[in-house]
Structure 1
Amino acid sequence: MTVQQISSFAAGEWLAPGEGARNIASAITGDVIATAGNNALDAQAMLDYARNVGGPALRALTFHERAKMIKAVAMHLDKHKQALYDLSFETGATQSDHMIDIDGGVGTMFVFASKGRREMPDGHVYLDGDVEQLSRHGTFLGQHICTPLQGAAIHINAFNFPVWGMLEKFAPTLLAGVPSIVKPATNSCYVTELAVKIMLDSGILPEGALQLVSGGLGDMLDRLTMQDVVSFTGSADTAMKLRSNPVIVENSVRFVAEQDSLNASILGPDAAVGTPEFDLFIKEVHREMTTKAGQKCTAVRRIFAPDATVPAVIEALSARLDKTVIGDPRLEGTRMGALVSNGQKRDVLEKAAILATEATRVYGDPDNFEVVGADGDKGAFLPPMLFHCANPDTAQRVHDTEAFGPVSTIMGYRDIDHAIELVKKGQGSLVASVITHDSAIARQVAIGAGAYHGRLYFNNRDSMKESTGHGSPLPHMVHGGPGRAGGGEEMGGVRGVKHYMQRTAIQGSPDILTAIGEQWVPGATEIKGPAHPFTRKYGELSIGETMHTDPRVVTLEDIEHFANFTGDTFYAHMDNEAAERNPFFPGRVAHGYLLLSFAAGLFVEPNEGPVLANTGLDNLRFMKPVSAGDTIKVRLSVKKKTQRNDEYGEVRWHVTLTNQDDDLVAEYELLTMNAY
């Protein structure tokens, strides 16, 4: 067998393994299949390349341009999945495991690409929250903005997901406009190297946007500044060592950690044997024990069930584990492959021995199990092992020891409050799941244990057909957890992007805020267009372009006609005495929706033109009632523009209605799609 030479991509060059390289063995056979590492990598050159070449190139692009780039990279990776599948088998992963790692990573990129286009501006500044009124007359305002950090993001990833683990960090970092230096775990870095080569060979990424360290980082962490970020996934011990680096501490370098976690799954007290919830619970726990041979940061390590139900859970789970075929992951019938290495296998057995001091193994004998199509002694194979702890209140090691493999411990609880207290003994987890059909139980767990978890996953007969599973972090939702789980946070849509940006409070006049945020702020200079704004195409409209309409009188006849025509005969519009008793109205008043309709009649251009559709309105507020005889007029301003494709873009209009005294009557934002 040819031993692969796993290279690093540093400062624009591929560098082969050198001094300090170490051998990597196949998880299936134990034979050496690759070598990686090079102590001669120039860490400062890599950082300079990222900061001075990659960073400026990325920051020159808008969020939408970066989002399009992410989508293009994801599509390119998607075309080369088979090569990644074929190589990933050597890590011990099955084809189903590949779907989580490789397909999941590509899917994560697609989600960030979509969110970048839909939730972020086609500009260089992200507005974080609404404008703050800092002065009486609105001439001095505040706004929080986010801009890209001007350093590098160092991504230190775990061995279990060599593709997803990289892409779930890389996608939000790229969208933020920050270059990445990726350092995968050496045991599976050969898969990451191939993924990086595929991405770089596409020619889509700007120079300096992505670099790869196959092996050790050397002294890179000693060279970081306050503009850099370290995002780490791995053990708590390693996280502590890295985040304690004096340079990281002194320079307040952002350090995001996702580490060891004693995740739990709770069988609700309502989920008796024979219910859909009981069967679902067994299925979920089994999947979490055996997927990736239990090598998942979100895997279920602690199982909680009502005391009386524990024997039934052990019996049902054991029966399902009996059907799990362990063997060569390349074989179609294999349901669980090997651990990533024999070193990891030894570590899991050591941790299982610690668990055995407080719990009894009720399933799985590591000295006596069948391996199909491979040598169980040479490969890193283990059977699923289930322990039972009879005294979870006094036990300690079952709540602080993670065997990072197919190992879980079941414990009984008296009532749901007891279950919550037991779950909290894990001192912080990435995820806990609760299988229950009782919404009150779900609420009780959310309130009682939410502070100890980054994610709470509830499932039952109503949601199980579409649910994504206990162990599936989704790019839309936050992934991370407090305490033992590292205290970090990744993904979560745009939240994940903001980890690589600086939030800055901007204070100034409406014109200043408008210029910085590329979004019109009320009070800023109004631009008078050459023609009615609805006759002008998307590209012709300017931020701040404003139209003032002629006034219109609202009559009692208008109010009564609208009431009878729509059926909205609410007393405030039809009964003067009742309306006068209402503390909000002086008497009969116009319908709010009548005012919106009149407003549209005042500013709409009726002829066919570039306005293709009205897609909605946001932030509608009625400030002052309008009585019969009052006059209304409209101010319509271009607040924001967002290109959707080459044919049309979204225009967000700021609309205000004022009366004859120039008092604000109503305010909202109108959304239209305009031809490009």
Structure 2
Amino acid sequence: MSAVRTAEPYNFNPATPPTLRGGTRQVIEPATGETLWSVNLATPADVAAAAQRAEQAQAQWAQVSPREKSEILRRAGNLFSQRHNELALHVARETGGILPKGQHEIREAAVLCHLAASMPLQSQGQVLPSTPGRMSLARRVPRGVVGVISPFNFPVILTLRAVAPALATGNAVIVKPDTRTPVSGGLMIARVLEEAGLPPGLLQVLPGDADVGEALVTDPRVPMIAFTGSPAVGRRIGELAGRHLKKVTLELGGSNSLLILDDADLDVAASNAAWGAYFHQGQICMASNRILVHESMAAEFTKRLVLKARHLPVGNGASGQVALGPLIDARQRDRVHALVQASVAAGAQLEAGGSFDGLFYQPTVLSGVRPGQPVFDEETFGPVANIVTYRSDEEAVALANQHQGSLASAVISRSVGRALAVGRQLKSGMVHINDQTVNDDCVNPFGGPGIAGNGSSVCGPADWEEYTQWQWLTVQDTAPTYPF
């Protein structure tokens, strides 16, 4: 095992393996347009070489004792905590998030490592009933090499939530991070785990484009793919993985609804709606895309939300002085703006925002949103609060369930019983009563139906099912004789 190093400031420029053959790419800070660092890019040939190294490393990792695996992950969690300020600033700058968002990612990284550290010390099988003289066991064994393809929005959390349990259960991992956030989404994690003592070859980071992701999905030495990203790319990965008979977990997107019942406190409701819609510029798979408000209170609620939108400061998130940072790049900004403009053309009313300066998109409020308008039908993934009115609880449920997939829904009401009655009817992977939609405790199932993915197959109780497979083992003192 490699020795634990003394703490020095991380320099991520040389962290990408120098042998990668895809050239280099600059990583741009969204808030300033400045180059943060350059990283080496992988090619499909690099994927094949990494898979071979990972396969060899995994065979050795399987022989490492559970306590030693646990200790490495525990040290990694401690390192995330010890280096909290340094790493949080890296995350904020690379993702364009506000500093508290970067701090949140690093705190959760420590939690994810400590949760994973407990897994090697848990029961890994069952004794099954069998005939006398024979022991019958069902045991969990590693899948081998797990490919992780992660997104730009919460890259530390959304990468590590797969990497940590995969390593804990005895697998090797190859990560393909988004090329816009290769440090937060891979190189940072690899450096921390290396410093914690993870053996070489067990975790490899291959920044690259779609051809690299496709090579990872189709490589025969990678039996499982964990993907977080858009439904369009998820469909392609699911198709390829199915063709190659691979295990695949997909956490995608969809439309999330925050239902505000007619007995709700309007100030509380507006606060929840603003957080759910605007946190990290709305670039969250759980963002409150649709805000359903009873028609009798819609005008007053809209006033409150507009006031918040107009007073939330937008700027360089790493400064610690703003509420919203920039969108990740011009492509994402243009997509958000096109959805807003098309929805206004289709009848929605622009109450606030709807404009941008560079990558800084103003917090936006649209009222009069109805089915058929782009912001109702599609996931905006930007700082846009879409107000939908309804006349009855039944209509609110019907509108909320009018989607192709939903990760999260939420209901706010002074009556918990009434809110629960509504919440039980919502077709989402996660439902929150008296809260907004952006919630995750790291120990809960995470996923949703339809284009949200392939079920609650991420985190918490799902991890053992995802990163291991059952093996039946029987043992007898002597081999029996058979009539043949």
TM-score, normalised to structure 2's length? 0.87
Aligned partner of 2:4 in structure 1 is none
Partner of residue 353, structure 1: 341
Q: Is the 8 A contact 1:101 1:161 kept in 2?
A: yes
SS at structure 2 position matched to 1:304:
strand
- For the pair 1:419 / 2:422, whether they are aligned, the reply is no
Structure 2 unaligned spans of 5+: 1-10, 479-484
Partner residue in 2 for 1:334: 322
The more displaced of 296-305 and 346-355 is 346-355
Who wins on radius of gyration, i.e. which is larger?
Answer: 1
Answer with 211-220 or 338-347: which moved more: 211-220
Match of 2:8 in 1: none
What's the CA shift string for 1:540-571, capped at 9, x where partnerless? xxxxxxxxxxxxxxxxxxxxxxxxxxxxxxxx
- Please give the alpha-carbon distance, in whole angstroms, between the structure 2 residues aligned to 1:350 and 1:77: 39
Distance 1:16 1:326, change over 3 A: farther
Compare 313-322 and 83-92 and name the one that shifted more. 83-92
2-structure distance, mates of 1:281, 1:453: 20
CA distance in structure 1 between the partners assigned to 2:50 and 2:222 by the alignment: 15
Mapped partners of 1:144, 1:291: distance in 2? 44
What is the one-letter code of the residue matched to 2:343? L
- Does the C-alpha gap of structure 1 residues 352 and 144 become closer, same or farther in structure 2, counting only changes over 3 Å? farther
Partners of 2:61 and 2:345 in 1: CA distance: 53
Question: Could you say what secondary structure the match of 2:407 adopts?
Answer: strand
How far the C-alpha of 1:20 sits from its partner, in A, is 4.9
Is the alpha carbon distance of 1:485 and 1:44 closer, same or farther for their aligned partners in structure 2, counting shifts above 3 Å? same
Which among 395, 413, 436 is matched to residue 413 of structure 2? Answer: 436
User: 2:458 matched to 1:478?
Assistant: no
Matching of residue 497 in structure 1 with residue 451 in structure 2: no
Between 39-48 and 301-310, report the one with greater CA deviation.
39-48
Measured after TM superposition, the shift of residue 182 of structure 1 is 1.1
Q: 2:139 matched to 1:145?
A: yes
Specify the alignment match of 1:372 in structure 2: none
Task: Say whether residues 1:249 and 2:238 are aligned partners.
Answer: no
Once the two structures are overlaid, the 10-residue window that deviates more, 402-411 or 483-492, is 483-492
Q: Deviations over 1:474-528 (max 9, x none)?
A: 211011111010124344424213201112456788x99xxxxxxxxxxxxxxxx
**1:222–1:28: structure 2 CA closer, same or farther, 3 Å change rule?**
closer
Q: Does 1:29 align with 2:28?
A: no
- 1:503, 1:388 → 2: CA distance? 51
Contact 1:141–1:507 (8 Å) recurs in 2: yes
1:228 paired with 2:223, answer yes
Secondary structure, in 3 states, of the residue corresponding to 2:361?
A: coil
| Superposition deviation, residue 281 in structure 1 | 2.2
* Pair 362,174 (structure 1): closer, same or farther in 2 beyond 3 Å: same
Q: Which has the higher helix share?
A: 2
Aligned-partner SS, 1:319: helix
Q: Report if aligned partners of 1:7, 1:214 keep a CA contact under 8 Å in 2.
A: no
For the structure 1 residues 329 and 505, does the alpha-carbon distance in structure 2 shift closer, same or farther, using more than 3 Å as the test? same
Q: Name the structure 1 match of 2:81.
A: 78
Q: Any idea what SS the aligned residue of 1:402 has?
A: coil
Q: Which amino acid aligns with 2:405?
A: G
Q: Residue in 1 aligned with 2:175?
A: 182
**C-alpha distance in 1 between matches for 2:471 and 2:347:** 51
The root-mean-square deviation of aligned C-alpha atoms, in Å, is 2.9
Give the Å deviation of 1:326: 0.7
With CA pairs under 8 Å and 6+ residues apart, which has the higher RCO, 1 or 2? 2
Provide the rounded CA distance (Å) in 1 between the counterparts of 2:129 and 2:193: 47
Measure the CA separation in 2 of the matches of 1:96 and 1:406. Answer: 17
Structure 2 equivalent of residue 110 of structure 1? 114
Which residue number corresponds to residue 49 of structure 2? 45
Residues 463-612 of structure 1 mapped to structure 2, 5 A cutoff: 470-504=437-471
SS in 1 for 2:52: helix
Aligned partners of 1:194 and 1:226: how far apart in 2?
Answer: 22
Tell me, in whole angstroms, the C-alpha distance in 1 between the residues paired with 2:50 and 2:18. Answer: 12
Tell me by how many angstroms 1:23 deviates. 3.5
Q: Which amino acid aligns with 1:365?
A: G
- Write the letter of the residue equivalent to 1:415: S
| Aligned partner letter, 2:139 | I
In structure 1, the partner of 2:147 is 154
How many angstroms apart in 1 are the aligned matches of 2:22 and 2:220?
Answer: 28
Q: Contact conserved, 1:155 with 1:230, CA < 8 A, in 2?
A: yes
Alignment partner of 1:58 is 2:61:
yes
Partner of 2:428: 453
Cα contact 1:92–1:338 (8 A) shared by 2: yes
> Structure 1 residues 187, 364: CA separation in 2 closer, same or farther (over 3 Å shift)?
farther
**Partner SS for 2:429:** strand
- 3-state SS, counterpart of residue 180 of structure 2: helix
C-alpha distance 218-235 of structure 1, shift in aligned 2 (>3 A): closer
How far the C-alpha of 1:299 sits from its partner, in A, is 0.9
Deviation at 1:302, TM superposition (A): 0.7
Tell me how far 1:411 sits from its aligned partner. Answer: 0.6
User: What does residue 284 of structure 2 align with?
Assistant: 296
Secondary structure at 2:385 match in 1: strand
Sort the Cα spacing of 1:64 and 1:477 in 2 relative to 1 into closer, same or farther, 3 A: farther
Shift of 1:70: 1.4
Runs of 5+ consecutive residues of structure 1 not aligned to the other structure: 370-375, 461-468, 513-676
Aligned partners of 1:115 and 1:494 also within 8 Å: no
Task: Work out the CA distance in 1 between the residues paired with 2:463 and 2:317.
Answer: 33
Take 2:258 and 2:67, find their aligned partners in 1: how far apart are those partners? 39
